[in-house]
Amino acid sequence: MHNIEGLVLKSTGSWYDVYVEQTNQVLACRLAGKMKLNKSTLTNPVAVGDKVDIQVSQNSDAIIQNIQPRKNYIARQSPKNKHQVHIIASNIDQAVLITTLREPHFKQGFIDRFIMTTEPQDIPVLIIFNKADLYNDEDVEEYKELQTIYESIGYSTLSISCKSKLGIEALKERLVSKISLFSGQSGVGKSSIINALIPGLNQKTGLVSGYTGKGTHTTTFAEMLRGERDTFIIDTPGLKTLTFNNLEILDVAHNFREFFEVSENCKFGRRCTHQDEPGCCVRERIENGQLYFYRYRNYLSILEEIKAHNYWERKKDY
């Protein structure tokens, strides 16, 4: 037996595709039994993007023995257990959120919900507004407004169209020599964008349902894909919703970055939830137009969701 280092490209449950740079091959690996038995708050011990140590036997069986320390990760709450999280991917240089103002309809608050998964790990975010060829004048104005909001607080934005190729080359340049996680609601055109970025890949693309106006899922598991100039893209399943019932209210308050930056000036400092506390600097600045009400409205929506969930959890205990 001998040990080698690898990079996890794909997980399909009990098997993992692991790229070994020194031999330039992809090995199908299983997980060591002792790792499966470790009790954890994670639903998946190994994630796409993990650097792992593999033991290969003489008959070519490959076993993942160890996961090297992660520099960061993106996770979401497990749909089955609020006390567990599922790691979507790790060791990411940037997260690319694909959205659109048309087909499917733009979902208010989805950008801020996604950012809640990246902000705790300080992962840079690029927000892509796809299908720009479908935008009317009103959509263009909405895009400009959203661009102003998010770029003013440190997030990048880009308007593109796979159909007209608008912005595709600019997007390619932003991906060079990076591992980028691609995410978005179903139907926003994520697979079409990846096909445009990595010619010959032929990722399956889905249509927007005419009945619901929602996209159809085309990706089942997260998978790392390799393009030109050391471009690595982690393709993830389309998202319908993002919930945060595993978080506390202050977790949310501390991850809306512009609110957190000024919260030290609140009467209750970092403990302020920016709702009805006296001397709240965040609310004062929103009223004065120094902070965006758009973000505050989305912030309150997440808080209300968490409070409602906690209320019903307490009712169950009686």
Report pLDDT digits (tens) over 11-39. 877 899 999 988 889 999 999 887 765 55
Q: Is the pLDDT of residue 40 over 70?
A: no
Q: The domain 2-67: what is its CATH number? A: 2.40.50.140
Report pLDDT digits (tens) over 282-299. 999 999 999 999 999 999
How much is the CA Rg of the chain, to the nearest whole Å?
Answer: 21
Surface-to-core class of residue 308, CB atoms within 10 Å of its CB (0-12 exposed, 13-18 middle, 19+ buried): exposed
pLDDT score of 7: 95
Low-confidence winner among 26-40, 111-125, 160-174, 215-229 (lowest mean pLDDT)? 215-229
Residue 90: other Cβ atoms inside 10 A: 25
Q: The domain 249-317: what is its CATH number? A: 1.10.40.50
Token pair, residue 116, equals 């809640």
* Confidence label for 203 from pLDDT (cuts 50, 70 and 90): low
pLDDT score of 314: 63
Domain ranges (residues) in the chain: 2-67, 73-235, 249-317
pLDDT score of 29: 95
* Confidence label for 239 from pLDDT (cuts 50, 70 and 90): confident
Q: What CATH architecture applies to the domain 73-235?
A: 3-Layer(aba) Sandwich (3.40)
Report which of 135, 140, 189, 153 is spatially closest to residue 262, judged by C-alpha positions: 153
Q: What is the pTM of this model?
A: 0.88
Q: Is the pLDDT of residue 52 over 90?
A: yes
Average pLDDT, the chain: 88
Token pair, residue 74, equals 């993106």
Q: Is the pLDDT of residue 234 over 50?
A: yes
